[in-house]
Chain A
Amino acid sequence: MEHFIDIVLLGLLMITGFAIVRMRSLLAVAMLTSIYSLLSASLFMVLDAVDVALTEAAIGAGISTILMLATIALTTDREKAPRHTPLLPLVVVFTTGAALIYGTLDMPHYGDPDAPVHRRMAAAYLHDTPEEIGVPNVVTSVLASYRGYDTLGEVTVIFTAGIGVLALLGYRTRRRNIQSPAIKKLVVLRVIAKLFLPLILLFALYILFHGDYGPGGGFQAGVIFATGFILYALAFGLGNAQRLIPQRLLHVLAAAGVLIYAAVGIEGMLLGGKFLEYRVLADDPVTGQHLGIMLIELGVGITVAAVMLIIYFGFVSRQHSGDS
């Protein structure tokens, strides 16, 4: 049965992939990439990788679609016809693909229990997590504690992306609330948005602080948090949203998240441990691990939410100024 679901999902993924390549309308492509992400999330779900599935659903199907649509609204929704014959790119793609497939031949087979990762790392993580860290969700313990350096790197990458968008696009604060009159008439949407906004933010907090026990964590929570504010901006106008969270506050928050993360690491050093060693944070090593993981997840969530909003506001505020 599981094989059947796998085959159906992979087949649909392939169809979506080909459709994306064939489409010329970029709006349709944006929607198809969203579907592609949702299918991948289902596939991860079948593989029991709930954390990855949640991330893919929130980031791939959720916010990147919104950002892509914002980009399309800023540029154009038609793909330009290619000027060259596709022969050379085709050869390059096929050669690279063949080389990659040849490279996979050396890798251990899918699900091979003797693969190095299953023999050493995964076994050690699964074995040590209950006593060393005491969190039921091993993914969180690997991501936040054992592999804390990598996650710090990821947060820094996201922060850098936010700075890049700011440097390229800048931002404009709107004094007047600019909103298309069409959306003003959508009373139902505004009422429902108002009703659900607190629930969305509450859910984001749940995902953030429940990450130790179930699927979730800073990345997903940050994205969901940002989505709540984007919904507000869509329903009530960009000016109101920017009054709700001023652009300067977003800049501070984006940096603050990374700094919280790094500060937790340095605090560990000051208390006599190594960089990002959480067990020295409290008297009891397990409590220290809990505290450290919670703090860095908070930092990740703050940075991700702030950067997503910076990118969104960056795109949308330009789009309105182009009209007037």
Chain B
Amino acid sequence: MMELVLDLLSWVCLLAGAAFLLIGAIGVLRFPDFYTRLHAVSVCDTLGAGLVLVGLMLQGGLSLVTVKLLLMFCFMMFTGPTAVHALAEAALQGKLKPLVDDRES
């Protein structure tokens, strides 16, 4: 019974993660400028990859594999947002203007 619950939970995580990654990919294609695309990538990637790793951890059970996956999870939680932050900051320093909606102002 317990195993079935864990299996179900892990598949929910895996599929949700895959869905987030897909949404992120669509966002990169569809969003209008660099910053919004970066936004799509960073949020969906961190969440999607994180969920996939959590799903795999549930599949792994209490083992060395799970520890390694946990380390990867921590690593990605730090590196993903940092990389995107550095990219956005570099683009801003490089005088790439964000697309703003100026109809209201």
Contacts and interface: CB of A to CB of B under 8 A. Distances in A.
Interface in B53-105: 75, 78-79, 82, 85-86, 89-90, 93-94
Contacts of A195: 78
Interface stretch (A32-40, A154-162, A184-192, A221-229): A184-192
Interface residues of A, number: 9
Nearest to A181: B93
B2 to A, nearest CB: 27
A189 B86 contact: yes
A186 B84 CA distance: 12
A189 B82 CA distance: 6
Nearest to A234: B86
Interface string A260-277: 000000000000000000
Interface in A45-85: none
A192 B93 contact: no
B78 A186 contact: no
A196 B94 contact: no
Nearest to B86: A189
B93 A182 contact: yes
A182 B94 contact: yes
A186 B83 CA distance: 11
25 contacts: A182-B89, A182-B90, A182-B93, A182-B94, A183-B90, A185-B89, A185-B93, A186-B85, A186-B86, A186-B89, A186-B90, A188-B82, A188-B85, A188-B86, A189-B82, A189-B85, A189-B86, A189-B89, A192-B78, A192-B79, A192-B82, A195-B78, A196-B75, A196-B78, A196-B79
Given A182-B90, A186-B85, A188-B86, 20 more contacts: A182-B89, A182-B93, A183-B90, A185-B89, A185-B93, A186-B86, A186-B89, A186-B90, A188-B82, A188-B85, A189-B82, A189-B85, A189-B86, A189-B89, A192-B78, A192-B79, A195-B78, A196-B75, A196-B78, A196-B79
Interface of B: 75, 78-79, 82, 85-86, 89-90, 93-94
